Amino acid sequence: MLRELHIRNLAIIDDASIEFGKGFNVLTGETGAGKSIIVNALALALGERAAGELIRSGEKEAVVEALFDPPPKLSNQSIYGPLHDAGIEIEDGIIMKRLVSSQGKSRAYINGSMVNIQTLSDVSRSIIDVHGQYEHQSLLSQDIQLAMLDEYGGLLPEREEVKSVYEKLKNLKRRIAELDMKEKERAQRLDMLKFQINEINAADLQNGEEESLTDELKVLSNSVRLTELANHSYDSLYSSESSCIANLSRILGSLKSISDIDPKANDSVKSLEEAIPLLEETAYFLRDYKDSLNFSPERLDAVHDRLELIKGFKRKYGENIKAILDFKDEAEKEFNELERSEEMLGGLKEELAGLKEALTEKASRLSKKREQVAKKIEPMIVAELSKLSMPDTKFSIIFSRETGDDTTDGLKATQNGVDSIEFLISPNIGEELKPLSKIASGGELSRVMLALKGTLSKGDRIPVLVFDEIDAGIGGIAAEAVGQRLKNLSASHQVICITHLPQIASYADRHLKIEKTVKGKRTVVEIREIEKEERTEEIARMLSGNISDASMKHAKAMLKSKSKQ
C-alpha cells in the first residue's frame, strides 16, 4: 500500500507529509484548497511529465517522494524483475522519488538508486492506478484488460499452456531460420568446402613433412660441397697409402713389439686396438655417404616445388601442416552438416507443424472461453455503470486477431494466445462505442474504472487505487452507490479518493482534510487526518456549505449509518 507521500516546494505546498492507511482513504477540502496539487504530486512520483512551472515561487527545486510497502512477490513479479536487474532491493518497501528543477529538468530515484523515467513509470504501473484526469491508468492497456479477463474467468492455466507451446514454437522457428540457408548460398558454400577438402586431400600432406623436406633441400643445394668433403675425408682416413688408418696400423705393430719387451705399453696397445675399428666404421660411412650423393636437379626442383605448395596452403588454411589438416577436418564436418541440413530441416519442419497444430488447438479453446467470459462480464459492467449514474451506457469487449503463420488457421500468436481485446464504451445515447482511452470526461472514466474494478477485482493485482473526479456530475443515490462500491473495493485494495461528496467521504476508514492557510505572508497547504467531532464538522460543511445544527445532525446520522455497514 501507499504508506506516505512527502511533497516539498510544489505549487503552494512548501513542505507536507501525508500518511495513508489501509482500506478506504478520502481527501476533502474546500474548492481551491489544493486537492489537485496532491494528485499532481503523486503523478510526478509515478513518472508523469514534469514542468518547471510547478515549482513553488522563489524555489529552485521541488521534491516528491512516495513510500510503498513491499508488494507480495507472488502477485507482483513484474515489479521485482526490473528492480532486481537494476540491483535495487525492496525488502523494506519502495521509495519513489522525483526531483524537478525550475528549468523543467528532473531526476528519478527508486530506493536511492537513480533510474530513468521509463523505469519509474513501469514499476509504478504495477503498484498503483490513478484514475481521473491523468493518464496513469493500467486499464487503458489492452494487455492488462486481457490479463484481467483471463484471471476473472479462471483461464490462467490455459493461458500458461498456450505460453509454453508458443515459446517452443518460437525457439524452433529461430532454429529453422538459422538452418534454412538460401539454396544458392548453401550450394555456393558446399562447392567452396568441397574444393578446399579435395585440394587438401590431393596434396596428401603429412605431419613433419615440411621439416623433412627443408632438411633435404639443404643437402641437395650443397651436394657438390658435400661430395668434395666426403671424398677428401675418406681418402685421408682410409683409401690413400698415407691414410690415417694405415699409419695407425703401423704404429699399432710398433706398440705391440714394445709391449712384448715392456708391459707398460699394454694399455696403449689396447686403446689403439679399440680406436682403429671405430675409425674404420667412420671410413665405411664416408664411403657409403659419398656414393649416395647422387645430385639430381629434378629432385631439387621437386623438393622446392613441394615446399612452395606447402607454403601456399599455409597462407590459405593454417600456420603449419597440423593446422591445415585440422581445417580440413572442420570443413568436412561443416560439409556433412550442410548436406544433412535438408534432411534435418525436414524433421524440424515436421516438428513445427505439430507445434502449430497444438498451439492452434489450445489457443482456439482459450479464445472460446474468453468470449464466453466476455459475454458474462458485459451486462455486469453495464449494470454497475447504471448504478453509478451512467444509466444509458453501453459496454462491449471486442476481440481482434492478426493474420500470421503461427497457427494452422493463419493467425499470428503471442505468449497470450491469438487474441487482442479492447474494452469499448458509449456513455451517452446515440454515441458509438469507443475505446476507454477515448472517453473525454475524467469523471466518466473514473466511474468506468470503478465499475470494472468492482466487477473484475479478483483479476486485478494492482494493490493501490486512486480516484479523482469520480464524483463529477453525480449526487444523491448515485453518490451513495459510488461510495458503497469504493468501500467494497477497499476490502481487497487500498483506495484513495479525492471527493466533494459527503455521501462518499462518510464511507472512509481514514479521512484527510486539505486546508489552505497563510503563514508569513505566504499561502501554504496543510493536510491532516481528522476524526470524531472534527470529521463530523467536515461532513456537515460538505452537506450544506456551512456548519449548522441541521447539517451537524445530518452528518452525525450519515456517519453513524455508514459505520454500521
pLDDT band at 78 (very low <50, low <70, confident <90, very high): low
Q: Report the CATH architecture of 1-127+509-529.
A: 3-Layer(aba) Sandwich (3.40)
pLDDT band at 135 (very low <50, low <70, confident <90, very high): very low
Least confident range from 76-80, 136-140, 326-330: namely: 76-80
How far from chain centre, in Å, is Cα 228? Answer: 79
Q: What angle do helix axes 321-387 and 183-203 make, rounded to 10 degrees?
A: 160
Which residue did the predictor score with more confidence, 44 or 458?
44
Contact at 8 Å (CB) between 49 and 69?
no
Distance, in Å, from the CA atom of 128 to the CA atom of 44, rounded to the nearest integer, reads 13
Give the residue from 109, 119, 137, 107 showing the smallest Cα distance to 43.
Answer: 137
pLDDT of residue 137: 59
pLDDT of residue 68: 92
Give the CA angle between residues 511, 512, 518 to the nearest 5°: 150
Distance, in Å, from the CA atom of 511 to the CA atom of 382, rounded to the nearest integer, reads 30
Burial class (CB in 10 A: 0-12, 13-18, 19+), 266: middle
Largest CA distance in the chain: 162
Question: pTM value?
Answer: 0.62
65: pLDDT strictly greater than 60 = yes
pLDDT of residue 231: 83
123: pLDDT strictly greater than 80 = yes
- Which pLDDT tens digit goes with each residue over 206-220? 998 888 888 878 877
- Which pLDDT tens digit goes with each residue over 240-270? 777 898 888 888 888 888 888 888 888 988 9
pLDDT of residue 369: 96
pLDDT of residue 521: 77
pLDDT of residue 443: 65
Distance, in Å, from the CA atom of 52 to the CA atom of 50, rounded to the nearest integer, reads 7
- Which pLDDT tens digit goes with each residue over 287-335? 888 777 777 788 888 888 889 899 899 999 999 999 999 999 999 998 9
Mind giving me the DSSP string for 116-162?
A: -HHHHHHHHHTTEEEESSSSB-GGGSHHHHHHHHHHHTT-HHHHHHH
pLDDT band at 134 (very low <50, low <70, confident <90, very high): very low
- Which pLDDT tens digit goes with each residue over 425-478? 998 888 899 888 787 566 677 778 788 877 876 666 778 888 887 777 777 888
pLDDT band at 138 (very low <50, low <70, confident <90, very high): low
pLDDT band at 124 (very low <50, low <70, confident <90, very high): confident
- Domain layout of the chain by residue ranges: 1-127+509-529, 186-334, 531-565
340: pLDDT strictly greater than 70 = yes
Give the residue from 373, 413, 421 showing the smallest Cα distance to 397.
Answer: 421
pLDDT of residue 99: 92
The H or E element that residue 394 is part of is: strand 394-400
